[in-house]
Chain A
Amino acid sequence: MSGGLTMSGSLNWAYRKLTSMRFALVLLFVFALLTLAGTLLVQVPPGVKDHPGAYAEWLDEIRPRYGGWTDVLDTLGLFSVFSSIWFKGTLLLLSASLVTCSVRRTPGLWRTATKPRVVMTEAFFERAPHRASFSTAGDLNAALGRLRSALRKNGFTRVVVERDGDDVHVCADRFRWGPFGRVAVHLSFVVILAGAVLTATGGFRDEAFAVPVGGKKEVGHGTGMAVEAKSFADSYYTSGEPSDYASQVVLYRNGAPVHKQEIRVNHPMRYGGVTFYQSFFGPSVVMKAKAPDGRVVFDQGVPLLYSSQDEKHSIGRFMLPKQDLTVYVVSPRSGEVDPRIGAGQTQLEIYRSSTDTPVGIKVLSQGRQATIGGVAFTFLREREFTGLIVARDPGSTLVWIGATLLVLGLFATFFFQHRRVRAVVRRGSGGSEIGVAAIERHQEAFAGQFERLVEEIRRAVGGGAQTEIGGRANA
């Protein structure tokens, strides 16, 4: 029994916390601080944390900068803020808070928008911060008609009228759906976060998808797609700054060509949920390899994707699994001269894949063949490769939906603010009397609008009308 009580007690406590504005503000503040930390502190490059050795090395690299704080910051996870438990926890709590808040407040907003209280007390019309009264000739209906048209002209398009004895009460709204923009904003944030979670956990992203010109490469990841690069062109301004990178590619699906396009920076190729972006380029070496039985086991370009430690050589790699060989292709980087590897030459370094033992090293000229480890390698030619980013992002759609909701919601909230004025029409001496009054949170901003409305009503009720305008609050 008491267990049940504490249970509901703590649920109650959690609910109160989650719907409290103070708590939400604290969360936003923590969110801001963590984000700031993520900008000010060096963040570990992606992938490095997956290799403990590489991470330790990276930490040593930045140690001079943070000194004794390095380990403290590391323990707190502040070198990878955006994947830290603090950051994720804050966003999770924020989402929970947003959802509970929205759920709690929406019915109230709905009631305010659809079932306004129309009949107000005498005191309301005497004390409201914005108020005015008019007297006019004509009966109640005539006065009501004029009031209505004045309201309509000022955008108070919804007018609800209720009779209270002899008096007619009016409640008029302008942009009464505006406050729902706020609900949209709050929920959009959760939608965006959900999208971000999908992005982080689903799909794939290959940032080093290099296709030698003239070659073809499988995308993998169960897409059944392959990309053939027909050509690649990089062009430059006279200043030496790059002006354009463009790859002409053909996309294959299950072996059949399905799409042809030029991919450029800012012009990705999108197909079947997979997107291909122009990202980098470099040299590749086209190699052919024949097994002892004369079968061709390799015949394509090898992108020289990596750089040697002294940064003087570009290195590419391919494997021949059947032969248990790993082949490194080494060429001097453009502009570098290596006395051992001449122009138009490349060096092969071959290892036994399973044991990592060297099998042989050989410098090859273009068109020449060498047999190492029983395999005949031919260096056919050099060609460029084009480097693409290939990604499938199942979360982005949700993110775009959320972002649209966010922007529309914000504009609705701020530029279509709900305004409500109340009025009463009574029989007066020699005609009718109209009282108009409003309460607004943002008094100063509303004052001008109210003045314009009063002016409009004054015009509508006729020149001879007497008008009395009450003071704004805290004037």
Chain B
Amino acid sequence: MLRLSHYFVFTGIVAVVLALFGYVLAFASVRVARARVLAAEGVGEGGVEVDFAEVPRGVAGFATLTTWLALAFLTAALVCRAIATGHGPFANMYEFSIAFAWGALVVHVYFMRRFRQWATATIVLLVALGMLLYATTVPSGAEPLVPALQNNLLLTVHVAVAVVAYGAFAVGFAAAVLYLVQSGSLKRWFLPRPQVLDELSYKATLVGFPFLTLTIVLGAVWADIAWGRYWSWDPKETASLVTWIVCGAYLHARSARGWRGRRAALLLMLVFAATLFTYFGNLFFGGLHSYGKVS
């Protein structure tokens, strides 16, 4: 089972790479097609918007299919791993990194279906790829759980909710990056309109924030059961609180002070940076969340 899980991770990585390739191809083909039209009409490139409908069928189908395949492989990898170890596949950095990539893909696919936006795919897939490659560098052994982690229900729910939040922040980050690219250059890329990207990043954060909140609350419930207090200013707890506050500040700045566009996008990049800091944090500072040991 464990070996099967490794195979699925490997095929998952391949699928992610292929999907990346597919999306790059999709952009290129739109670009070529558009350039031809624009040259014929003799107009500039400003303010164009791409639509998947314009991408040649085969390319679009390939990109979508490989994305779905990547998600399916990673899901299979996590399921096999859970069966093999008997607990939620979230107990060490290896499992958690694959879960992070999985979360990013899940939220991405959800947004792709819901808002028909595929432009963010490239960046989300890069984030997922980074996580998967990172996973291959840490020990992948299935160590049995130390007593503090032996709470199957909370381990599974707490971390499953966390990876959805992280995935949402990855999508928000992707949209924010594209926004900055799109609005920063005079010569617009073949990307959705800035407003669409801006709105997309906001939507992603609207998903991420409640899930992050739930993660923190479930963490507090667990801490109360395992460590005897709901909050102990453990570095990982504190770092996730920082993420939560910055994210809350973003929502307020946006809904009450009308922050849009550039400033909002920069704040979202900060949110994602804080997420990564929280995620990798236990590698620099000890604390009670010590499962993160990789040595």
* Chain B residues whose CB sits within 8 angstroms of the CB of A243 once the complex forms: 144-147
Q: Which of B230, B252, B253 is most buried by chain A, counting CB atoms within 10 A of its CB?
A: B230
* CB proximity to A under 8 Å, residues B137-157: 143-148, 150-151
Q: Does A92 contact B (CB under 8 A)?
A: no
User: What residue in chain A is nearest B238 (Cβ atoms)?
Assistant: A39
* Chain B residues whose CB sits within 8 angstroms of the CB of A400 once the complex forms: 221
Q: Does B195 contact A (CB under 8 A)?
A: yes
* Chain B residues whose CB sits within 8 angstroms of the CB of A411 once the complex forms: 210
User: What residue in chain B is nearest A38 (Cβ atoms)?
Assistant: B238
Report whether A242 and B146 are in contact in the complex, using a CB–CB cutoff of 8 Å: yes
* CB proximity to A under 8 Å, residues B194-235: 195-196, 199, 202-203, 206-207, 209-210, 213-214, 217, 220-221, 224-231, 233, 235
Report whether A36 and B242 are in contact in the complex, using a CB–CB cutoff of 8 Å: yes
Q: Does B248 contact A (CB under 8 A)?
A: yes
Q: Does A406 contact B (CB under 8 A)?
A: yes
Could you say which of A121-129, A301-309, A389-397, A459-467 contacts chain B? A389-397
Report whether B256 and A275 are in contact in the complex, using a CB–CB cutoff of 8 Å: no
* Chain B residues whose CB sits within 8 angstroms of the CB of A39 once the complex forms: 235, 238-239, 242, 281, 285
CB distance from B215 to the nearest CB of A (A): 10
Known: A277-B227, A277-B228. A264 touches B147 (CB 8 A): yes
* Chain A residues whose CB sits within 8 angstroms of the CB of B233 once the complex forms: 38, 43, 82
Report whether A406 and B217 are in contact in the complex, using a CB–CB cutoff of 8 Å: yes
Known: A266-B147, A406-B213, A414-B206. A21 touches B257 (CB 8 A): yes
**Bound Cα distance A266, B117 (Å):** 43
Report whether B210 and A445 are in contact in the complex, using a CB–CB cutoff of 8 Å: no
Could you say which of A24-32, A143-151, A373-381 contacts chain B? A24-32
* Chain A residues whose CB sits within 8 angstroms of the CB of B249 once the complex forms: 25, 28-29, 32
**Bound Cα distance A275, B231 (Å):** 16
What 1/0 flags go to A414-457 for Cβ under 8 Å of B?
A: 11000000000000000000000000011111001000000000
Q: Does A399 contact B (CB under 8 A)?
A: yes
Known: A266-B147, A396-B230, A407-B210. A31 touches B195 (CB 8 A): no
Known: A399-B230, A410-B210. A266 touches B246 (CB 8 A): no
Known: A82-B233, A442-B202. A28 touches B248 (CB 8 A): yes
**Bound Cα distance A341, B235 (Å):** 42
Chain B residues bordering chain A, tally (CB within 8 A) = 48
Contact residue among A82, A245, A391, A403 (Cβ-Cβ distance under 8 Å from B229): A391
Contact residue among A28, A265, A389, A407 (Cβ-Cβ distance under 8 Å from B214): A407
Known: A410-B213, A414-B206. A31 touches B143 (CB 8 A): no
CB distance from B171 to the nearest CB of A (A): 15
* Chain B residues whose CB sits within 8 angstroms of the CB of A22 once the complex forms: 257
Q: Does B28 contact A (CB under 8 A)?
A: no
* Chain A residues whose CB sits within 8 angstroms of the CB of B217 once the complex forms: 403, 406-407
CB distance from A301 to the nearest CB of B (A): 23
CB distance from B228 to the nearest CB of A (A): 4
CB distance from A126 to the nearest CB of B (A): 23
Report whether A474 and B147 are in contact in the complex, using a CB–CB cutoff of 8 Å: no
Q: Does B241 contact A (CB under 8 A)?
A: yes
* Chain B residues whose CB sits within 8 angstroms of the CB of A441 once the complex forms: 255
Report whether B147 and A245 are in contact in the complex, using a CB–CB cutoff of 8 Å: yes
* Chain B residues whose CB sits within 8 angstroms of the CB of A239 once the complex forms: 143-144
**Bound Cα distance A196, B220 (Å):** 12
Q: Does A35 contact B (CB under 8 A)?
A: yes
* Chain B residues whose CB sits within 8 angstroms of the CB of A24 once the complex forms: 252
Report whether B210 and A444 are in contact in the complex, using a CB–CB cutoff of 8 Å: no
* Chain B residues whose CB sits within 8 angstroms of the CB of A199 once the complex forms: 229-230
What 1/0 flags go to B113-152 for Cβ under 8 Å of A?
A: 0010000000000000000000000000001111110110
* Chain B residues whose CB sits within 8 angstroms of the CB of A237 once the complex forms: 143-144
* Chain A residues whose CB sits within 8 angstroms of the CB of B246 once the complex forms: 32
* Chain B residues whose CB sits within 8 angstroms of the CB of A410 once the complex forms: 209-210, 213
Report whether B228 and A268 are in contact in the complex, using a CB–CB cutoff of 8 Å: yes
**Bound Cα distance A38, B255 (Å):** 29
Contact residue among B147, B235, B281 (Cβ-Cβ distance under 8 Å from A242): B147
* CB proximity to A under 8 Å, residues B236-272: 238-239, 241-242, 245-246, 248-249, 252-253, 255-257
Report whether A399 and B220 are in contact in the complex, using a CB–CB cutoff of 8 Å: yes
CB distance from A440 to the nearest CB of B (A): 11
Contact residue among B148, B210, B235, B252 (Cβ-Cβ distance under 8 Å from A414): B210
Report whether A407 and B213 are in contact in the complex, using a CB–CB cutoff of 8 Å: yes
Report whether B229 and A32 are in contact in the complex, using a CB–CB cutoff of 8 Å: no
User: What residue in chain A is nearest B222 (Cβ atoms)?
Assistant: A266
User: What residue in chain A is nearest B217 (Cβ atoms)?
Assistant: A403
Q: Does A241 contact B (CB under 8 A)?
A: yes
Report whether B210 and A266 are in contact in the complex, using a CB–CB cutoff of 8 Å: no
**Bound Cα distance A441, B256 (Å):** 11
* CB proximity to B under 8 Å, residues A52-83: 82
Report whether A444 and B199 are in contact in the complex, using a CB–CB cutoff of 8 Å: yes
CB distance from B264 to the nearest CB of A (A): 13
Q: Does A244 contact B (CB under 8 A)?
A: yes
Report whether B228 and A391 are in contact in the complex, using a CB–CB cutoff of 8 Å: yes
Q: Does A284 contact B (CB under 8 A)?
A: no
Report whether A268 and B225 are in contact in the complex, using a CB–CB cutoff of 8 Å: yes
**Bound Cα distance A445, B206 (Å):** 12
What 1/0 flags go to A194-209 for Cβ under 8 Å of B?
A: 0010010000010000
* Chain B residues whose CB sits within 8 angstroms of the CB of A393 once the complex forms: 229-230
**Bound Cα distance A256, B226 (Å):** 28
* Chain B residues whose CB sits within 8 angstroms of the CB of A21 once the complex forms: 252, 256-257
Report whether B213 and A35 are in contact in the complex, using a CB–CB cutoff of 8 Å: no
**Bound Cα distance A474, B206 (Å):** 22
Ranked 3 nearest A-B pairs via Cβ: A265-B147, A444-B199, A277-B228
Additional pairs, 14, CB under 8 Å, beyond known A406-B217, A445-B202: A22-B257, A24-B252, A28-B248, A39-B281, A239-B143, A241-B143, A242-B146, A266-B147, A266-B225, A268-B225, A268-B228, A275-B228, A414-B210, A444-B195
Binding site for B on A (CB under 8 A): 21-22, 24-25, 28-29, 31-32, 35-36, 38-39, 43, 82, 196, 199, 205, 237, 239, 241-245, 264-268, 275, 277-279, 389, 391, 393, 396, 399-400, 403, 406-407, 410-411, 414-415, 441-445, 448, 474
Binding site for A on B (CB under 8 A): 115, 143-148, 150-151, 195-196, 199, 202-203, 206-207, 209-210, 213-214, 217, 220-221, 224-231, 233, 235, 238-239, 241-242, 245-246, 248-249, 252-253, 255-257, 281, 285
Q: List 28 A-B contacts (CB under 8 A).
A: A28-B245, A32-B245, A32-B246, A35-B241, A39-B238, A43-B233, A82-B233, A196-B231, A199-B229, A239-B143, A241-B143, A241-B144, A243-B144, A245-B147, A265-B148, A265-B150, A268-B225, A275-B228, A278-B147, A279-B228, A391-B228, A396-B230, A403-B217, A407-B214, A410-B213, A444-B196, A445-B203, A474-B195
